[in-house]
Amino acid sequence: MSVNARIVSAGDALEVLAAGWQAQKAGGLTASWMLHGRPGVGKTEVVRTLAERIGAELVDIRLTTIEPQDLRGLPYYDHDRKQTVWYRPEDLPDDPDRPAILFLDELTAASPYLQPTVYGLLQERRVGRHLLPDSTFIVAAGNTVDDGAIAYEMGTALSDRLIHMQVQATARDWLERYAVDRGIHPSVTAFLRARPDLLDTTEDSMRRGDIIACTPRSWERVSRIVSAVDSRAMRDVMIAGTVGAAAGAEFMAVADEIAALVAVDDLIATPRGRRADLYPETLNGLVGLIYAVVARADAATMPAAIDILADLTLLPGAARRALPLAELASFGFELLIRKALNEGLAEAFRGSESYAAYAAQRKETGAL
């Protein structure tokens, strides 16, 4: 059976779950949620990010690694009461004063023998005599049988206990609402802005019979490889083994270009009037610079970051003037403003002369 739910980006799925949590806190909605999506699309990261946002304990249960008794608990005989009593499993949340997210991962790959035990958690919020606190938010996730992963068809008895969403990776959503906040390496973000089609190649890889596909999860691993491994030759092998040889070779060419051109710390440290010659002259280099500046921006460097982006439209040189500098500056400020709002650094914009001049120029040209 197909999943006839709305297809949403990972960022939108996060906002829907956050709204569900607020509704549950207010007492208006108590429900269990299901995220469907291909492997590596970001379902787990959505739940982790939600837990961080609401300050909740994340209880992550991988249903493929447990047996029914691991959820139900184990029985013992109470001789005084002459009854069989069940020990509650320690994994389940039990603190009514602390928010918790019970994350039932790989639900569609769980053994059919486990599903009846899960029914009670999803609908009645209980296992045996153990009732989950009202402060527990339940989210499940899994792949479908069409995703190339191990999965069982979801029966109606299970699906009817859930609010479903299909999570689909989109490059813009991943780059703007996830990558910057997570500190993804600028070479990865710059590359995927130019090649958004390579964010998720699972379907194409399955069609070709390849075992390696590009996914948001694999690109995050590439980011860690670039940051942690100094040897170019070693990185090449590792990245090819993470996103495939073809995508890996294309990425490494862009990464080499950005590494040669982007020196964001030098740019920040240089007085504003002497920075012009330090800007890259290629599109990949400037995109990489934007992501690096936004990633580097904090309370101390935010004023310099604003100046660097505002001055993009003023760069000299024929090669640079042929590039879409106004579009790059606008894109950079979208990312930087979002970060400033999230981290309480918006005051830097109110006191910035360079941003005021940039905004006035945009208004004069009709861009605002």
Task: Please tell me the distance from the alpha carbon of residue 139 to that of residue 143, in angstroms, as a whole number.
Answer: 14
Reading the block at residue 338, the tokens are 């979002």
Q: Convert the pLDDT of each residue in 142-170 to its tens digit.
A: 987 666 656 666 778 888 999 999 999 89
pLDDT of residue 264: 86
Give residue for tokens 């964001």.
264
pLDDT of residue 158: 84
Structural domains of the chain, ranges and CATH numbers in brackets: 7-168 (3.40.50.300), 172-364 (no CATH)
pLDDT of residue 180: 82
Q: Convert the pLDDT of each residue in 77-124 to its tens digit.
A: 778 888 777 777 777 888 888 999 999 998 888 877 777 778 888 888
* E strand map for 130-246: 130-131, 136-142, 163-167
pLDDT of residue 8: 95
With beta carbons less than 8 A apart as the criterion, state whether 225 and 251 touch. no
Band (pLDDT 50/70/90 cuts) for residue 56 is: very high
CA 15 to chain CA centroid, Å, is 12
pLDDT of residue 259: 79
Q: Convert the pLDDT of each residue in 233-290 to its tens digit.
A: 999 999 999 999 999 999 998 888 887 777 888 889 999 989 988 898 888 889 988 9
With beta carbons less than 8 A apart as the criterion, state whether 37 and 166 touch. yes
Residue 75 pLDDT exceeds 80: no
Residue 197 pLDDT exceeds 70: yes
pLDDT of residue 368: 57
pLDDT of residue 68: 67
pLDDT of residue 258: 83
How much is the average pLDDT of 325-348? 91
pLDDT of residue 327: 92
With beta carbons less than 8 A apart as the criterion, state whether 43 and 34 touch. no
Residue 73 pLDDT exceeds 80: no
Task: Please tell me the distance from the alpha carbon of residue 149 to that of residue 141, in angstroms, as a whole number.
Answer: 13
Neighbours of 303 (CB within 10 A): 20
Cα-flanking dihedrals φ and ψ of residue 15, to 5°? Answer: -65, -40
In 3D space, the residue among 345, 344, 277 whose CA is nearest the CA of residue 305 turns out to be: 345
Cα-flanking dihedrals φ and ψ of residue 244, to 5°? Answer: 100, 155
Residue 54 pLDDT exceeds 90: yes
Cα-flanking dihedrals φ and ψ of residue 12, to 5°? Answer: -70, -35
Burial (CB count <10 Å: 0-12, 13-18, 19+), residue 220: buried
Q: In this prediction, what percent of the chain has a pLDDT beyond 90?
A: 51
Task: Please tell me the distance from the alpha carbon of residue 74 to that of residue 82, in angstroms, as a whole number.
Answer: 17
